[in-house]
Amino acid sequence: MSDTTLTLAVPVFNESESLEVFHQRLGKVAEQLIDQFGLTVEILYVDDGSSDGSVEIMNRLPSARFSVKTVCFSRNFGKEAALVAAIERCKKGAIVFLDSDGQHPPEMLPEFVRRWKEEGNDVVYAVHNKRQDHPIKQKLVGIFYRLINAGSRFEIPANAADYKLLSPRALEALKACQERIRFFKGLSTWIGFKQSAIEYEPEERISGTTKWNFLKLLSLSSEGVISFSTVPLRATMFLGVAIAIPSSLYGFWIVLSALILGNDVPGYSSLFTATVFLGGLQLILLGVVGEYVGHMLREIKQRPIYIIAEESNQQAKTPEATDALGG
């Protein structure tokens, strides 16, 4: 039974202008999946504290031969929390995650399912075939992936999107990961199994603008690095060694030159410069260590990843009870 059930999980945050158009497209593809693969399909919308009326629209989206479920958070907890909520509510079968703004084309879903059902892939994910970002952003993205994959036993695919399918056993493996701070791209790679990439080019948003800004991306990136890499901590150690050895040798040389050669000891300006430099460097290194300590503190507190305000469930209709989506 689990191999014939598919949940289409859609995080939502202030997408009231896109939801109805997106649901029409997704509903048509859901009907296609039912006919082509004989699946039982449910669409699960997870609202991440929207304030633009998205909840009201979600609650009236029609079901057809697929069911429509909605989960609404009490406030904005972040996209990663929305993905966790979808995972925990998928009791059986496979799951696909895709965005509600239309940039993840629902029409690709049959290929995702085919690679799962016919080729035996447990994780199928979409990868940007050519990024259209600003060159500076592309450089920063490249640095991020090199940093997070440095010294790792597995490699998180660069430019992979959150648009991906998890088979039933991959989903159960992901449920076993109990950390509170999640980096979904890393965890879905870490679990292993047979994985397959599908190249795609993101479509234009149905409407509106992206909710991600530089600071949010930076925060997500830092949490990903802290969750999957100890390179920053090792770098601080090597940096300390790189500074300590030359400075010790230089100090030894100053003593010898003063005692043996009779040279004057360098003045206070050089001492002041070195002190300020080392003081600033220590604050940076303490900040790196502090990020890891703060990460552990948030894990230890064991607070809920999200809080539910309301849920609703529209069961799938029989073919006799519905003529078409929205009918």
The string of pLDDT tens digits covering residues 269-283 is 566 666 767 777 777
Domain presence at residue 11: yes
Within a domain: 221: no
User: Model confidence at 8, in pLDDT bands (50, 70, 90)?
Assistant: very high
Question: Does residue 24 carry a pLDDT above 50?
Answer: yes
Assess whether 310 and 288 both reside in one domain.
no
Task: Please check whether residues 183 and 244 belong to one and the same domain.
Answer: no
Number of domains comprising the chain: 2
Question: Does residue 225 lie within any of the structural domains?
Answer: no
Structural domain containing residue 158: 2-214+304-321
Are 10 and 52 within one domain? yes
Please tell me which residue, 3 or 66, carries the higher pLDDT value: 66
Question: Would you state the pLDDT for residue 223?
Answer: 66
> What's the whole-model pTM score?
0.71
Q: Are residues 64 and 11 in the same domain?
A: yes
Do 54 and 75 have their domain in common? yes
Long-range residue pairs from 205-213, CB within 8 A, at least 24 positions apart, any chain: 205/18, 205/101, 205/102, 205/103, 206/17, 206/18, 206/21, 206/22, 206/101, 206/102, 207/17, 207/18, 207/21, 208/14, 208/15, 208/17, 208/18, 208/101, 210/101, 211/13, 211/14
Residue with tokens 């699946």: 39
327: confidence class by pLDDT, cuts 50, 70, 90: very low
What is the rounded average pLDDT for all residues in the chain? 77
Q: What CATH number has the domain bearing residue 89?
A: 3.90.550.10
Q: Collapsing DSSP states into helix, strand and coil, what is residue 154?
A: coil
Top-confidence residue, 266 or 120: 120
Whether residue 127 sits in one domain with residue 89? yes
Task: Give the tens place of pLDDT for each residue, 88-144.
Answer: 888 888 999 988 887 888 888 999 999 998 888 998 988 877 656 656 666 666 666
Residue 22 domain flag:
yes
- Compute the distance between CA of residue 39 and CA of residue 48 in angstroms, rounded to an integer: 28
Mean pLDDT computed over 299-327: 68
326 pLDDT tier (thresholds 50, 70, 90) = very low
Residue 187 lies in a domain: yes
**Which pLDDT does position 318 carry in this prediction?**
61
Q: Is the pLDDT of residue 325 over 50?
A: no
User: Residue 95: which of 196, 10, 7, 190 has the closest Cα?
Assistant: 7
Q: Are residues 45 and 74 in the same domain?
A: yes
Whether 233 shows a pLDDT value over 70: the answer reads no
Residues 37, 182 within the same domain: yes
Task: Quote the CA–CA distance of 85 and 159 in Å, as a whole number.
Answer: 24
| Distance of alpha carbon 236 from alpha carbon 232, whole angstroms | 6
Give yes or no for residue 43 having a pLDDT over 50.
Answer: yes
Residues 252 and 314 in one domain: no
pLDDT, residue 324, reads: 47
Does residue 137 sit within a domain? yes
Tokens at 123, concatenated: 């994780």
Query: Residue 147 falls within a domain, yes or no?
Result: yes
Q: Are residues 249 and 194 in the same domain?
A: no
29-38, 147-156, 157-166 — most confident range: 29-38
User: Is 219 inside any structural domain?
Assistant: no
Give which of 1, 67, 65 is closest to 35, Cα–Cα: 65
Token pair belonging to 102: 């239309």
Contact, 225 vs 232, CB < 8 A?
A: yes
Tell me: do 90 and 24 sit in the same domain: yes
**pLDDT digit string (tens) for 74-95?**
888 888 888 888 888 888 889 9
Alpha-carbon gap, residue 46 to 88, rounded angstroms: 12
Same domain, 154 and 235: no
